[in-house]
Each structure stands twice: as C-alpha cells, then as structure tokens.
Structure 1
Amino acid sequence: MSRRTIVVVEDEATIVGAVASRLRSEGFAVETAATGPDGVALCARVAPDLVVLDWMLPGFDGIEACRRIQAERPVPVLFLTARDAEADVLVGLGIGADDYVTKPFSPRELVARIHAVLRRTARAAEEPAPSRIALGRDVLDLDGRRLLRDGVEVPLTPTELDLLATLAGRPGRAFSRDELLAEVWEWRTGGSTRTVDSHVAALRRKLGADVVRTVPGHGYALGDRA
C-alpha cells in the first residue's frame, strides 16, 4: 500500500520543518510549498490525500489557494491560522476547508487532527449510508454524499455533511458538543467545542438558521424541517 501524501503550504520555515518532520515520522510522504501559487501548482502535480494550508501566504492567501485547489480536485484541507475570530473561521469552512488549527499549536495536535480528517474521509468513501433524508426543501443524499435543495446541489464540506448526517440520522436526539466531537470528529479528548460551534454556524449560513436547533445548556439537534 502506497504512503498517503500530505502537502504543507506554509511560508514560515520553522513551522514547515517541524510539521514535515512529524508527519514523515508518522509514515506520510510530505511535499511542501511556501507561496499560494506554488501550493496550488504542487497540489495539481502530486494529487495529495490532504493539504495543510496556512491562512496568510505570499502570492495570494490561503483562502484563494483553497478555492483553486478545490476547483482542480476535491481534497481535504486543514487550515493553519493565527486568526481565531469566528468570522475568519467561517470563511475558511465556507470555501471548502474541513478543519482548522490556531497558531501556536503542537505538531502532535496537528497530526491528530490530520488522522481524524483522513479517517472521516475514508469512512465516508467506504461506508455510505443507503438512504436519503428529507429536510424540508432539502434532501440529504447519503449515498451520493451531497445535499440537494430543490434538486440543485448545495456545496458542503465533508465535515459539514458528516455533522448534518449525524444530526439528521437521529432527529429526536439532542447532542452535546462533546458527543458531536466524538462522533463527527472522532476526538475522544482534547477537542475544542468551538470547532462544533463554527461548523454549525457555517451550516446555518449555507442552509438557513433553522437547519440546526440550539439546545440551551447542552448542544445541538436537528431543526424542525422534516
């Protein structure tokens, strides 16, 4: 079995060195680039299994790089960012990122996040659920891994699809944030509940405020669309 390839697009040499060294020690093949244009070209050339992408890059920023990478070929993207404002996070999630890590971070944490994203991607590809779920105007097509609104596909990231499918699979269930971290992100410990909040906010922005219901003092549940 060939090694999975990770592309790291980051202009700070110390971060690149630490991340690449840790990923290689975990058995990944690692390719690196230091600018937005070089990162896009590298991804087109090597077709990575996952991209670690800095927010601020020379040439053009990580947002534009993510758009171009995803337009060429859908691939999981994990952002590195010093910006933790919710609006900034939502921009990244909205254009196709699957997760983000806020600087400063430990290489060990980053590797754990990468493994979680890759597990979700593999699970989604190998074990699609054999059904569709109607959510008002929307149809969650679990076989096809897509959401349709009036027959037109709404672009969602793999993580957003997993989150919506988890909530829609048990519409009467209120999930705590920790439960969602465990089921969707496969984090047993150490995950930030802000990750859940950010993805819920992204779903609401794309699909409407009523798609996910907040359960005060607990977490989230599917909204009242069905």
Structure 2
Amino acid sequence: MTRLLIVDDNEQITDVLTLYAEKEGFETVAVSCGEDALSAFRANTFDLILLDLMIPGIDGLDVCRQIRKVSDIPIIMVTARSEDYERIMGLEIGADDYIVKPFSPGEVMARVKAVLRRISKSEASGAPLVIFTLNLMIDLDAYLVKINGQTVPLTKRECEILWLLCGNPDKVFTRTELLNRLWGYDYYGDTRTVDSHVKRLRSKISRFEHPLWDIKTIWGVGYKFEKNIKDKKD
C-alpha cells in the first residue's frame, strides 16, 4: 500500500487530506512540525511526503534539505504564499512539485498520483542510466554527475535534465517536451519551471571546465546539448 507522510500544522488541512488520501487507497501519517516530520521519516517507510513550508520548529525547506541528504523520496512542497522565489527555492533543494494554498484536496491527490506515476515509469523504463561523453559522466541511478572527475553538486531534477539532454546530443527539446518528459504530462506547473532549473544547472556546471560541450538555448524553442562549442552565446 502506498504510504504518505503529511506535514502541516493546520489540523483541518491534515484531516481533509487524510480523508481524501484514504479514499484513494493510501495509508497516511500526519504530523504538525518539522521535528516530528524528520522523526516520522526516519522511523517509517513512505512513498511520498506532502510538506508544508511554514511549519513550527524546523521549517519545510530545512526538512526537505535534511531528507534530501539521505533519500530521493518524492516531496511535494505546500506553501501559503505564491512568490516565485519560494517555489524556486523549494524546487532547487529537491522538491518534486509544489502546491500553493488555498487548494482543493482533489487537486492535491491528482498531483500525488502524477508524481508517483512518473517515478514508477522512470524506474520501469530500463533506459541506460550512465552516460560517458567527453569529460562528462552522468549516473542517473546514483544522481551523480562528474566533470573532469570532479563531482558537480546537482539536485535530482538538474541531473535528470542534463541526462536527458546529454543522452540526445543536438536534439532540441522544447520547454513543453522537457516538462512532459521529466515532470509528467499531468504536471500543473508552467514552462518557467524549466527555465529556472536550466539556469541553475548552467550556473553549477560553469564552475567546471567543459570547453567541448554546453547546454545551448534555441531562442523561442528550448534547449539542446551541443558538442564542440566555439562561441558560447546564450
């Protein structure tokens, strides 16, 4: 049975989400603060975490950071505020999706099922998970990227973007295609999510020498992995 950890200090919200989750056949554990969330995570096995950003004690961002040090469990961040920088921060530290309050419980369950389907498809795809090209190595199974033998500290989603682009050199992926391939067809975000992730990915790989390849912007279309870059113009 699929098990969810629901983290929110609003008892009414946890009660409603628990009710809807159980109707979907999910088993749930609900906690109200960051410390309890980490304790529950360490003591149990879950398939996905619904994590409110503004919780007492250790906040949702720090809870996500600590979990990401040891696990790739899907995390959907929930926030009462709609500022882009908060959503971007949550995605940057490893959240798989975000939901802005107020929301409908049905929407939340749709998001949960979408993320779980995407994870399931990824695990069952059987595609090669390790790529070696030029001075770049990507191990998607371990979410490990190295340039010239040096580890590049990327998030899970940044690794997936680089792996997909690198595995299809010179193929241009539109922003919508990247959303569909990596976030899932029923993802509720928009193409700015792709741009934000690619921007951070580029910033991180720019710290390492890679003169023979780069991620190139095709203006008005999307992105591609290009070898033998001579004039790097983005």
Using the size of structure 2 for normalisation, the TM-score is 0.81
**Deviation, structure 1 residue 59:** 0.7
Q: SS of 1:20's equivalent?
A: helix
Q: Distance in 1 between matches of 2:107 and 2:82?
A: 16
Q: SS of 1:109's equivalent?
A: helix
2:103 pairs with 1:105: yes
Q: Which of 7-16 and 144-153 deviates more?
A: 144-153
- Equivalent residue, structure 2, for 1:183: 181
Q: Distance in 1 between matches of 2:228 and 2:96?
A: 25
Q: Distance in 2 between matches of 1:37 and 1:142?
A: 31
Q: How does 1:68-217 map to 2 (within 5 A)?
A: 68-130=66-128, 132-134=130-132, 137-142=135-140, 144-188=142-186, 190-208=188-206, 212-217=215-220
**Contact 1:5/1:29, CA 8 A, preserved across alignment:** yes
- Equivalent residue, structure 2, for 1:62: 60
**Deviation, structure 1 residue 167:** 1.9
Q: Distance in 1 between matches of 2:65 and 2:186?
A: 31
- Equivalent residue, structure 2, for 1:37: 35
**Contact 2:92/2:197, CA 8 A, preserved across alignment:** no
**Deviation, structure 1 residue 120:** 2.8
Change (3 A) 1:106 1:140: same
**Contact 1:128/1:145, CA 8 A, preserved across alignment:** no
Q: Distance in 2 between matches of 1:75 and 1:119?
A: 13
Q: Distance in 2 between matches of 1:79 and 1:212?
A: 28
**Counterpart amino acid of 2:179?**
L
Structure 2: gaps (5+ residues):
208-212, 230-234
- Equivalent residue, structure 2, for 1:220: 223
Q: Distance in 1 between matches of 2:100 and 2:110?
A: 14
Q: Distance in 2 between matches of 1:10 and 1:143?
A: 31
**Deviation, structure 1 residue 128:** 4.4
| Deviations 1:170-223 (CA, angstroms, capped at 9, x unpaired) | 222222222222221222575422332332233234333995333222222235
Q: Distance in 1 between matches of 2:173 and 2:135?
A: 24
Aligned structure 1 segments of 4 or more residues deviating by more than 6 angstroms:
none
**Deviation, structure 1 residue 136:** 5.4
Q: Distance in 1 between matches of 2:214 and 2:87?
A: 20
Q: Which of 129-138 and 214-223 deviates more?
A: 129-138
Aligned equivalent of 1:50, options 45, 48, 51: 48
Change (3 A) 1:151 1:60: same
Q: SS of 1:172's equivalent?
A: coil
Count of residue pairs the alignment pairs up: 224
Percent pairwise identity: 37
Q: Which of 73-82 and 205-214 deviates more?
A: 205-214
Structure 1: gaps (5+ residues):
none
Q: Distance in 1 between matches of 2:133 and 2:81?
A: 34
